[in-house]
Structure 1
Amino acid sequence: MLPPMRRARILELLRRDKVATLKDMSIALGVSMSTLRRDVDYLCESGHLERTHGGAMLNEEGRSAVELEPAIATELESDAKRAIGRRAAELIKPGQTVMFDSGSTTAAVARAARERGVPFTAVTNDLAIGGLLSATPTIRVLVVGGFVRTGTSTLLGPELMTAVARLRTDLVFIGTHALTADELSDTSVELADLKRAFLLAADRAVAVVDSSKVFSRAFCSFARTRDLERVITDARIAPGDLDALRARVAVDTVSEVE
């Protein structure tokens, strides 16, 4: 098991159990104590975990401003993201222009869209998503340019914002670091500003977000849930959270085995 996958499994385990000993995590992942300790130290140093006596727990206070590196984010809740991606891709109709925000869940939508083979035009600020979709002859791809955000495949910057302001699309798939019943938020002002511009450019907006991000808040708000056509999330969302969301926006829940 590669380090990003192990670290994603550690985060999933602690999201479920809240706190765990190093020994229990070592057994659950099937790795040595020394390997597990290195992974936990890495996640603590990057702000995702806090050490406890003999174990670790999530750093809930730091979650609003600390992003996962892309390799870990892709592995985290990967089954849920694939199911969300398949449901979201069904919304794409032939001939539409569809915008893809950057991120691991929107990338799952792009993969599912590629597999469906529907002809459409894609717009994205994510080099990885652009490369993924450009391999399909029936999909035209516009990658809006800017500066590469360090350590990611995301493009940002004033030139990109100017380009997005000129665009009009049928649909946008938006990812988010955090979602409450009222709003969507992310970890930086730059990301929030770009997501806001994407929403303004699209006739319809769909948020794709796994349930681990529901009813948490991040540093910078960029949209109200009432601005969305719908939210697509996985079926592990807590019933009370689902009811609160559905009071404000249409919500589709998907099973990971679909």
Structure 2
Amino acid sequence: MLARERHKLILELLKKDGTVRTADLVETMSVSSETVRKDLDFLEQAGQLERVHGGAVPVPKKLVAEPMEEYVSLAARNTQHMGEKSRIVHHAAGLIREKQVVALDYGSTSFLMAKELARRFRSLTVITNSVQNALALVKCPDFTIILVGGILNKEELSLGNDFSAMLDGLHIDVLFMSVSGVHPTVGLTDQGFSEARVQNQMRQLASRTVVLADSGKFGKASLVKICALREISTIVTDSGLDPAMEEAVRETGVELIVVPGE
């Protein structure tokens, strides 16, 4: 039985019986107890169940990680949830000061942040792997723009690869990061392998990492895990966040800023 078949069966049994026992799964699937433990660990990391002594139980309904919908192009995302995203970036821009070193990753919310920085600040150093972010800042005469090079993702207008050598020795005051999914158990996830690698490299260089995520991103899990919530400083979101999800995120220890609606 393939791993994905075992995972499907475990979740079906969990839904049917309300609990699963390691010993029963060993017998049902004719695999070793070590294989079952690995399967349960994988499903727990994916936010699909909660490990307990001797087996697993369902996670609270609101905390089950929902799979991402089909890929939505950057051009389309640049027109979605504009009110929420605009309020998020307006508040988040107040977390930095003139002449700081700021990093922006790729994505529609980061693009709005780039335009917000261009409007509100006179002098910043901005590190980014997004072509559209760089273009939004290019007319700011006292901005220093560092565009991290690499292979161009034509859909996302982003550059991704392993840039540890290029970034080595740099210090970032604040990294603003957009993601595809935010989940208290799974952590932060995104859709691109190389972009997630750059996000992690910049995160490790930053004194503070601020995630910009509208409330629709919460409870979702995408393909590539970036990091756990405890590994970042702050999440800024809008007032549409579900109260149960808000409580679960706060319990991880990350600072959560909920920006009021209009």
Whether these two folds match at TM > 0.5 is yes
1:175 aligns with one of 152, 175, 178 = 178
Q: Which residues in structure 2 correspond to 1:1-258 (within 5 Å)?
A: 63=68, 66-158=70-162, 160-182=163-185, 183-248=187-252, 249-257=254-262
SS in 2 for 1:237: coil
* Structure 2 alignment gaps of length 5 or more: 1-64
CA contact (8 A) 2:98 2:121 kept: no
2:200 and 2:209 map into 1 onto residues whose CA distance is 11
**Structure 1 CA distance, aligned partners of 2:184 and 2:259?**
18
Structure 1: gaps (5+ residues): 1-59
Max Rg structure: 2
Alpha carbons of structure 1 residues 134 and 176: separation in structure 2 relative to 1, 3 Å? same
- Provide the C-alpha distance between the structure 2 equivalents of 1:136 and 1:204, rounded to a whole number of angstroms: 24
Spell out, residue by residue over 1:130-186, the C-alpha distance to the aligned partner (whole angstroms, 9 max, x if none): 11112112322111111110222101124x443234422111001110001141011
- Secondary structure at the aligned position of 2:157 is classed as coil
Q: Is the 8 A contact 1:171 1:205 kept in 2?
A: yes
The number of residues matched between the two structures is 196
Q: Which amino acid is the alignment partner of residue 191 of structure 2?
A: T
| SS of the residue 1:90 aligns to | helix
RMSD of aligned Cα (Å)? 1.8
Indicate conservation of the 8 Å contact 1:117/1:138, yes or no: no
* Matching residue's letter, 1:127: V
Equivalent position SS for 2:92? helix
TM-score by length of 2: 0.70
Amino acid at match of 2:179: T
Determine the structure 2 residue equivalent to 1:6. Answer: none
Percent identity reads: 23
Please, what TM-score do these two structures have when normalized by structure 1?
0.71
Moved more, 122-131 or 146-155: 146-155
TM superposition shift of 1:61: 7.4
The one-letter code sitting in structure 2 at the alignment partner of 1:253 is: V
Deviation at 1:127, TM superposition (A): 0.7
Provide runs of 4+ in structure 1 moved above 4 Å. none
